[in-house]
Amino acid sequence: MNPLRLLKDLFASLHGGSDPRHLAGGFALGAALGLIPKGNLFAAAFLLLFFALRLNKGMALMSAAFFTPIGYWADGLAHRLGLALLGADALRGVWTALYDLPIVPLTRFNNTVVLGNLVLGLVLFAPLYVSFLRFVAWYNATWAVRVERLKLVQALKSMAWYRTYQEWTR
């Protein structure tokens, strides 16, 4: 994937060139992927969803990059949440049954931070999706035209290398 093309597609999408649901889906999935510690089957599953679903890849990558440090920052909260879930007597049978399955231990769900961040990512998915849908609608209604009128944007679009790059990435 060409990072410049991802950025170009992202900005074009924000300016009405894409379905806002694809942008919001990319943002929410990228956030969930960013929160989950890497090196387990959950992260691989979210990465597989990233490629399998129809969403804005540039937005998903930017969101994952933004939420990865937040995931590290939230490790204390995730640890407490995971510890509460793993220590709940009512769920002890569920955890034992899951751990006895062949592939499930590769998810490292028995790690308090992994489980806590997974739950945080899943809980935040819907609110982030809806919030970003509203943000895109607000941005398109109030800022898209203003950004297009900026002299810097017009100057960049008038440069020969930009037109060449546009033709090259089509």
Tens digits of per-residue pLDDT, 109-168?
999 999 999 999 999 999 999 999 999 989 888 887 777 777 776 777 677 766 776 676
Confidence of residue 8 (pLDDT cuts 50, 70, 90): low
Comparing C-alpha atoms, which of 119, 36, 45, 108 is closest to residue 71? 36
Q: Which pLDDT does position 39 carry in this prediction?
A: 87
Q: Looking at residues 44-67, what average pLDDT do you find?
A: 90
Mean residue pLDDT across the chain = 87
The DSSP code sequence of 40-97 is SHHHHHHHHHHHHS-S-HHHHHHHHHHHHHHHHHTHHHHHHHHHHHHH-GGGHHHHHH
Confidence of residue 2 (pLDDT cuts 50, 70, 90): low
* Domain range annotation of the chain: 3-142
pTM over 0.85: no
Q: Which pLDDT does position 15 carry in this prediction?
A: 62
- Report the greatest alpha carbon distance in the chain: 66
CB neighbourhood size of 143 (10 A):
12
